[in-house]
Amino acid sequence: MLSRYRSGFLLMPLAALSLLAALWAGLSRLGWNLPQPTIELPANHGPLMLVGFLGTLISLERAVALDRLWAYGAPLFAGLGALALLAGLPPWLGHAMATTASLFLVADFVFFYRQQPSASIATMGLGALLWFGGNLLWLSGFSLHRVVPWWIGFLVVTIAGERLELSRLLRLSPWDRIKFLLANGCIVSGLLASLIFFNYGVWFAGVGLVALALWLLRYDIAWRTVRHTGLPRFMAICLLCGYIWLGVGGVLWMIFPEFFNAGPYYDAMLHSIFLGFVFSMIFAHAPVIFPSITGITMPFLRRFYVHLALLHLSLFLRVWGGLGMWSSAQRWGGLLNALAILVFLANNVRAVRQGRSGFTAARS
């Protein structure tokens, strides 16, 4: 047990460095005049966030659960791929490391499925395959805007699989499960179609995103836990807000598929999901995931609602500014997005300190 906690401590800094670098690069892309360590940093905003931070974090959580030394290859290569981008090494090297990381993650889920076959594990494994597919396209020289839908598919399908695993407590009917599979099938079919007919593929994937958001809003256990107090209610509110943003993102994919390459519409289409959906999931599960990786107690604090509210209000400003071509609102919304994530990190550090002090007091 101690060895896997040490592994978490060693790899978490790679994820944190990628996150901070991605925030810096993102603000530069929005037009904030910040010093640039390398010329390539702003262009690497997406890869640093998707591969370096989220890829490392998600695969690290799975490696800890699997408790096999080889499973740590996924977060290690994801983190090293981000370091290669930050160091200005040949781009193919970072791309190859990211592809290797996703192969390890696919292997993780193959191992999980052989131990305990289930629809939820299969869905998360499908998400890992989408990450591998996107990284392989990236390695093959596809432009980043054609890779990003696959990365989004990885995050959305993986998270959906995790929620399906928890929904077993609700005793879903076979038809309810079929609707879940159809929604995910639309996403995957749209991604495959995008290889040939990009705009049509994005539109069809958007249909799947909306369908999945509606399914999660209807069947997720969050509707039960939101009636509780403390951490269960906080997590439920995060989840429900995230599902709404997932639906918003899907609608935008359906309305503006031809703008899925650059510009303010593109910014709104991506960040409604990356920030509104994915970071809502991170905010919800951080008090559970961080202790599972590090072994450190992390109590719930009411101040967690501060970074949650700041994230969603600032994201509304950013998306509204992007759709209305109001660049100032978009820029300030982006700056406040970064601030929300920094407040999230600060609140988590404070919670960890309180957890450690409580543990020390209990021992004394």
Least confident of 98-102, 127-131, 295-299, 357-361: 357-361
Q: Is the pLDDT of residue 237 over 50?
A: yes
Residue written as token pair 């995931």: 289
More confident site: 314 or 292 = 314
Query: Tens digits of per-residue pLDDT, 130-142?
Result: 999 999 999 999 9
Question: What is the distance between the alpha carbons of residues 157 and 175, in angstroms, rounded to a whole number?
Answer: 19
Rounded average pLDDT over 190-210 = 97
- Here the tokens at position 96 are 């190859």
Cα angle 50, 51, 52; round to 5: 105
Query: Tens digits of per-residue pLDDT, 79-103?
Result: 999 999 998 899 999 999 999 999 9
Q: Give the Cβ contact number of residue 355 at 10 Å.
A: 17
Question: What is the distance between the alpha carbons of residues 98 and 324, in angstroms, rounded to a whole number?
Answer: 35
pLDDT of 358 reads 56
First-to-last C-alpha distance (Å) of the chain: 24
Q: How many residues can be counted in the chain?
A: 364
Residue type (1 letter), 11? L
- SS3 readout for the chain: CHHHHHHHHHHHHHHHHHHHHHHHHHHHHCCCCCCCCCCCCHHHHHHHHHHHHHHHHHHHHHHHHHCCHHHHHHHHHHHHHHHHHHCCCCHHHHHHHHHHHHHHHHHHHHHHHHHCCCHHHHHHHHHHHHHHHHHHHHHCCCCHHHHHHHHHHHHHHHHHHHHHHHHHHHCCCHHHHHHHHHHHHHHHHHHHHHCCCHHHHHHHHHHHHHHHHHHHHHHCCHHHHCCCCHHHHHHHHHHHHHHHHHHHHHHHHHHCHHHCCCCHHHHHHHHHHHHHHHHHHHHHHHHHHHHHHHCCCCCCCCCHHHHHHHHHHHHHHHHHHHHCCCHHHHHHHHHHHHHHHHHHHHHHHHHHHHHHHHHHHHHC
Residue written as token pair 């596809």: 142
- Here the tokens at position 169 are 């407590």
Question: What is the distance between the alpha carbons of residues 264 and 257, in angstroms, rounded to a whole number?
Answer: 13
- Here the tokens at position 361 are 């007091």
Residue type (1 letter), 182? L
With contact defined as beta carbons under 8 Å apart, do 112 and 79 qualify? no
Q: Is the pLDDT of residue 293 over 60?
A: yes
Query: Tens digits of per-residue pLDDT, 162-194?
Result: 998 877 767 788 899 999 999 999 999 999 999
